[in-house]
Amino acid sequence: MKPVDDLILAIAEWTITGLLGVIATVLWRQLKHMRQDAAERQQRNELETAALKRGMQMILRAYLVNLHHKWVAGRGYMPVEQKRLWSDMFNAYEALGENGIISALYEDVKEAHVAPDIGKEQQ
């Protein structure tokens, strides 16, 4: 081989090695950014899920308190269907990780006299 050919071959080898290094660096940075983006998305999703969970807890709590106030505290009894609804909503509320004062209301609802459903006009 001629010295010029050796020089061209050496330059080609160094060029290919350099290009592979650049490509590897670019791919590594993209992978790093993808991981960061995925972690940020996961964190946002967790925050959104927590907010939705908290909102659902608040809605259930308000509805449970309203039903308790209307029937047990207001009338001293609760129709069967309302009791079933209250129990189902309480179970959902409890499954979301909350309890507190609603547990005391649940005891009131369980002990309340049962009245047959009176009709939708009084609910």
The model's pLDDT over 26-85, given as tens digits with 9 standing for 90+, comes to 999 999 999 999 999 999 999 999 999 999 999 999 999 999 999 999 898 999 999 999
Measure the CA angle with vertex 47, ends 35 and 101; round to 5°. Answer: 150
- State the residue for tokens 């899920």: 49
Backbone angles phi, psi at 113, to 5 degrees: -60, 145
Domain that holds residue 43: 3-122
93 close to 55: Cβ distance less than 8 angstroms: no
Asked if the model's pLDDT at residue 92 lies above 90, the reply is: yes
Split into its structural domains, the chain has a count of 1
Q: What is the reported pLDDT for 36?
A: 97
Look up the pTM and report it: 0.69
Instruction: Give the pLDDT confidence score for residue 25 in this predicted structure.
Output: 96
What is residue 117's predicted lDDT score, i.e. its pLDDT? Answer: 60
Percent of the chain with pLDDT over 70: 93
What would the mean pLDDT of 91-98 be, rounded to a whole number?
A: 89
Q: Is 82 exposed, middle or buried (CB count within 10 Å of its CB: 0-12, 13-18, 19+)?
A: buried
Is the confidence at residue 123, as pLDDT, over 90? no
